Structure 1
């Protein structure tokens, strides 16, 4: 595959890597100083991760907790800044620990520079963590 050239292409490539459970390659899509933010994070969960290493540590065991099967309904909206996109999407799969269904909606604001993600604000639904078996994010 040729290298993604737009923010939307890079984002879609990242989704494919997550479905393949290739977290190291997904982390390589990030700028060394990239920032991953969770504006709606519940108390005790990370609100901001700074740098590729921190993001890698956070995501390292993600496939051990969430078995992603698909990202249906991905809608990418281009902003007036060509390097920034707004994404509406849904991730579906199963929670590994309980073998229960996983179905999460997201809105993300993603900025890319020089072919790498520099900023990712993930507006996921914090109410989902209060559901039984939903302890799947933020486990290192």
Structure 2
């Protein structure tokens, strides 16, 4: 396994973390994504699909989970359409409405709507609730 930058990040706002999160998705980089998380962060999937875990506990579980999922899928994220980003009463929490536009090699393009609730403390994700349309992902390209 490669060494990753474990230095504390410069203070990043939730909006900056969201931008980096999306960049990691576009690059299909499990390492870049995981490096946005605190060591003991939790990433939850309230709408799960068969064979997919309901949560990842810890940065390394996020890294391993996304590495496995993205490695097993030929789907490629082409764009992330931001519908809205909502600030909340808590300056460490934002809610992002988005549509992930993706494609399969030789297959049709598809869109998966989702909602992310990001909790960021000291520039790192501490909790993510990822309301991804799991059924849309499971049937993509069919």
Q: Compute the TM-score of the two structures, normalised by the length of structure 2.
A: 0.81
Q: CA RMSD in A?
A: 2.2
Q: State the partner residue of 1:123.
A: 131
Structure 2 matches for 1:11-26, cutoff 5 A? Answer: 11-26=18-33
| SS, match of residue 105 in structure 1 | strand
Deviations 1:106-137 (A, max 9, x none): 01111011100010001111331452647xxx
Worse-matched range after superposition: 118-127 or 15-24: 15-24
Deviations 1:9-51 (A, max 9, x none): 1111221122123321221011111101011113442111101
**How many equivalent residue pairs?**
132
> Which whole-Å CA distance do the structure 2 matches of 1:18 and 1:132 have between them?
17
Q: Which runs of 5+ in 2 are unaligned?
A: 1-8
> Which whole-Å CA distance do the structure 1 matches of 2:85 and 2:117 have between them?
10
Q: State the partner residue of 2:38.
A: 31
Runs of at least 4 residues off by over 6 Å: none
Q: Kindly tell me: are residues 3 and 104 of structure 1, through their superposed partners in 2, closer, same or farther at Cα, counting changes over 3 Å?
A: farther
Q: State the partner residue of 1:91.
A: 100
Q: Does 1:106 align with 2:75?
A: no
| SS, match of residue 25 in structure 1 | helix
Q: Which runs of 5+ in 1 are unaligned?
A: 135-140
Deviations 1:39-72 (A, max 9, x none): 1113442111101111111111416522111111
Q: Kindly tell me: are residues 13 and 127 of structure 1, through their superposed partners in 2, closer, same or farther at Cα, counting changes over 3 Å?
A: same
